[in-house]
Amino acid sequence: MTTHGGFEPVFCTIVPPHVLDRLARHEDPAVAEPALRTLERDAAQRTRRRITAVRTTAAPAGKPSDRPDRTVFDAGHQEDLPGRKVHAEDDKPAKDATVNRAHAGLGATFELYLKAYGRHSIDGNGLALNASVHYGENYDNAFWNGDQMVFGDGDGTTFLDFTIPVDVIGHELTHGVTQYTANLEYYGQSGALNESVSDVFGSLIKQYALGQSTDQADWLIGSGLLAPGVHGTALRSMKAPGTAYDDPNLGKDPQPATMDHYVRTSQDNGGVHINSGIPNHAFYLVATAIGGHSWEKAGQIWYDTLTGGELASDADFAAFARLTAAAAKSRYGEGEEAKAVLDAWAQVGVPTS
């Protein structure tokens, strides 16, 4: 594994493989076949990431721009990336709503990181943001592949267009931020932290774009992604992990909210999408205890922890919790912010000392 600032060849998707595995075993081909094809494509991408070095982009000379540099490509339901260029930064809105949503989501992510934390794009040096839409046929996922965003259209039966929820876009791009900073290993608790950090900032990107306070936010990841008729509200809930869906096809949301229900599994890289519910819930508790806008104090504490240089790539929950407590104290002193952090981790059963 690499150290801070290096690049670990991981492949990160918004829909966990355990969800797609269940759908792929369904007796209805309309449910099973898109999930099976998605699993096959994801496996191929994962292999490609292991054998292909991540392309790095040299930092631009001088100060990075305060404007994003976005390009959207149309994969045309094929799997060759990036596809045909269809939208550049200064172009007028396209006729394709999916293209416009991708463009807007890239911009919302750039905006949050710049305005809230002074970070210029994913790498901190103005990295161009590229995205491909209409990937594959009925592809049931979205992913960050180390270089760019990729969005499927969904199958229309279980999932809709993956550009619909802005937090999905923010989630996947934040895997890039993690890649360029702490580079958390994508297995076990460090992998669950990698997923949780993406959920945290994905939610903050949505809240920032909507101007929401902590009590106005829905704290859902992927709201609007599930097709009509699916029994659920989103892929995950930070407010109440384990309650996002309970559907005959999808099954029941398996996320725990506390360490009492930590899931030990060899699937999903040691349950990275499942156990992320625990640090997700801790962040929700911190943010709501402090109140106001989540990106300001709670988000700042998490950002300081991610980018501070002390978070090891193989950090477990306890190590991350200790660093958030230290970050809160360093930035805000011994006041309500530090207390909120300590109380939240205690509530989810993760020690901070």
CA-CA-CA-CA torsion for 300, 283, 186, 2, nearest 10 degrees?
30
Note if 26 is an active site residue.
Answer: no
Phi then psi dihedrals of residue 169, to 5 deg: -65, -50
Q: DSSP for 95-150, please give it.
A: S-HHHHHHHHHHHHHHHHHHHHH---TTTSS---EEEEES-TTT---EEE-SS-EE
Which of 8, 103, 134, 172 does the annotation list as catalytic? 172
Omega into 82 within 30° of 0, i.e. cis? yes
Note if 273 is an active site residue.
Answer: yes
Helix (H), strand (E) counts: the chain: 10, 10
Which of 103, 120, 171, 273 does the annotation list as catalytic? 273
**Other beta carbons less than 10 A from residue 61's beta carbon:** 6
Evaluate whether 183 touches 2 at the Cβ level (below 8 Å): yes
Per DSSP, 242 falls in state T
Which long-range contacts (C-beta less than 8 Å, at least 24 apart) are formed by 89-96?
96/133
CA nearest to 273, candidates 36, 13, 25: 13
Per DSSP, 229 falls in state T
Secondary structure of residue 180 in the 3-state scheme: helix
217 to 221, 232, 274: CA distances (angstroms): 11, 17, 22
Among all residues, which ones are annotated catalytic? 172, 273
